[in-house]
Amino acid sequence: MQDLGRLGFSEDQATLLDVATSFCSAKSPISKVRRLIEDETGHDPDIWREIVELGWLGIAIPEEYGGAGLQLAEVVPVMEQMGRYLLAGPFLSATLAAQAILAGATEDQKRTLLPKLAEGQIATLALCEASDDWDLVNIACTAQSTASGTLRLSGEKRLVCDAGSATTLIASVMHEGRPALVLVDRSSLGPKALRRETIIDETRRAWSVTLDGVEVATDAMLDPARAQAALRHIHLSANLLQSAEMCGGTQAVIDYTLDYLKTRVQFGQLIGAYQALKHPTVDAYVGYEQARSHLYSAAHCFGEQGVGEIATRMAKAQADAAMSFAADRAIQFHGGFGFTYDCDAQLYRRRAIWHASQFGDAAYHKAKLADLLL
């Protein structure tokens, strides 16, 4: 019988879960979420500063590079509560960028960059392309060495989150026929290089980025020998943290639906008394609890060879299934109001679609699991 992972929960996780719950609920009421949807930047810089001061950007950065020296497991409860309260901002982007550097950069690059990221400088990943492939090593953008000793980039990246507020982009490219990661200063990009995209999850910001004509110094390339491993690490880290954000969102959309089921009356009775609504809501709730168990198992086992990958893919597959179902039913169970922009159900349904589209949906991860397990 194969080891599929197991649960564990640290003191630090418990503390962070507590703090993050209070912080996110206080800082991100739904009125604020709605206001930030209309905002060009999409997040509140003051809240970002508070998050930096709480040390959350450095949770999973080793102490020698200015972080707290914990693991991604400790980032999970924070991400979960951000997802629950739809707290907007570049936290996920910045955390994943730091992971990319940890897994893929040279020692010098780590010493220069990680302390800045721990202090809140925003970096983000530029991985997606027009090919629509979840396989991160399938890359069309290129970096070519020039006679003057620089790297000339070409190609277009898509769905680059928070590129508008980031200082640094980490782009995947092909270099001499192999995948590589390069650091790109956003200030080196021309005014036309960035286009804000219209995306399904309006609480996020994503951009298309044209790399054509951009030149960077040779030492902007992360360690080429570790690029593949870094991309793999990014893929799994992203899925772990997305699962966390989705679990939080699933909990919230179920609570939101329950409020309606307990107040809306039709045919002389509260609609929550109808089993056609009650029973699927229970199924959504059970799916959520299962997803959350997978999430904390994946967090706990993340660093373990083999098991970490299995647990993480299961977590994402279950989170996708749970959130999609819960949010889909949330729209339906709100009736005509559910069809409106004012009803919050759409915020969660849109977010579930976003998360499924990034780094693999349930079907994709199950196909990977089939190869790992069967």
Residues in the chain: 374
Q: Which is nearer to another protein, 210 or 281 (CB)?
A: 281
Interface with another protein includes 35 (CB under 8 A)? Answer: no
* Selected binder of another protein within 19, 68, 137, 270 (CB under 8 A): 270
Nearer to another protein, 45 or 303 (CB): 303
- Choice between 121 and 290, CB closer to another protein: 290
Nearer to another protein, 106 or 364 (CB): 364
Type and span of the H or E element at 161: strand 156-161
Work out whether 318 is an interface residue with another protein (CB under 8 A): yes
Provide DSSP, 109-148.
Answer: HHHHHHHHHHTT--EEEE-B-TT--S-TT----EEEE-TT
Closest CA to 101 of 131, 67, 144: 67
Among candidate residues 312, 328, 329, the one with its CA nearest the CA of residue 365: 312
Q: Where are the alpha helices (DSSP H) in the chain?
A: 11-27, 30-38, 45-53, 72-84, 91-104, 107-118, 227-261, 275-301, 307-333, 335-338, 345-357, 362-373
CB of 357 to another protein, least distance (A): 20
364 binds another protein (CB under 8 A): no
Does 19 participate in binding another protein (rule CB under 8 A)? no
Helix/strand/coil for 291: helix
- In whole angstroms, give the CA distance from residue 297 to residue 346: 29
Taking the C-alpha atoms of residue 227 and residue 224, their distance in angstroms, rounded to an integer, is 5
> Is 279 exposed, middle or buried, given 0-12, 13-18 or 19+ CB atoms closer than 10 A?
exposed
Q: Is 25 in the site for another protein (CB under 8 A)?
A: no
- Residue 242 binds another protein, judged by CB under 8 A: no
Q: Is 360 left (phi over 0), alpha (psi -120 to 50) or beta?
A: left
Window 205 to 224, contacts with another protein (CB under 8 A): none
Q: What's the min distance (Å) between Cβ of 359 and another protein?
A: 18
Pick the closer one to another protein by CB: 207 or 333.
Answer: 333
Q: Which stretch binds another protein (CB under 8 A): 13-21, 43-51, 326-334, 347-355?
A: 13-21
What is the rounded CA–CA span in Å between residue 235 and residue 113? 21
14 counts as binding another protein under rule CB under 8 A: yes
Q: Out of 145, 196, 289, 332, name the contact with another protein by CB under 8 A.
A: 289
The answer to whether the beta carbons of residues 210 and 192 sit under 8 Å apart is yes
Any residues with CB less than 8 A from the CB of 103 and at least 6 apart, and which?
Answer: 226, 229, 230, 233, 234
Could you identify the residue written with the tokens 């799916």? 287
- Measured from the CB atom, the residue of 21 and 109 that comes closer to another protein is 21
Using CB under 8 A, which of 6, 35, 49, 196 touches another protein? Answer: 6
Provide, rounded to whole angstroms, the least separation between the CB of residue 18 and another protein.
8
Residue 279 is a binding residue for another protein (CB under 8 A):
yes
Q: Which of 281, 312, 324, 358 binds another protein (CB under 8 A)?
A: 281
Give the footprint of another protein on this chain (CB under 8 A).
1-2, 4-7, 9, 13-14, 17-18, 251, 254, 258, 261-262, 269-270, 272-275, 278-279, 281-283, 285-286, 289-290, 292-294, 296-297, 314, 317-318, 363, 366-367, 369-370, 373-374
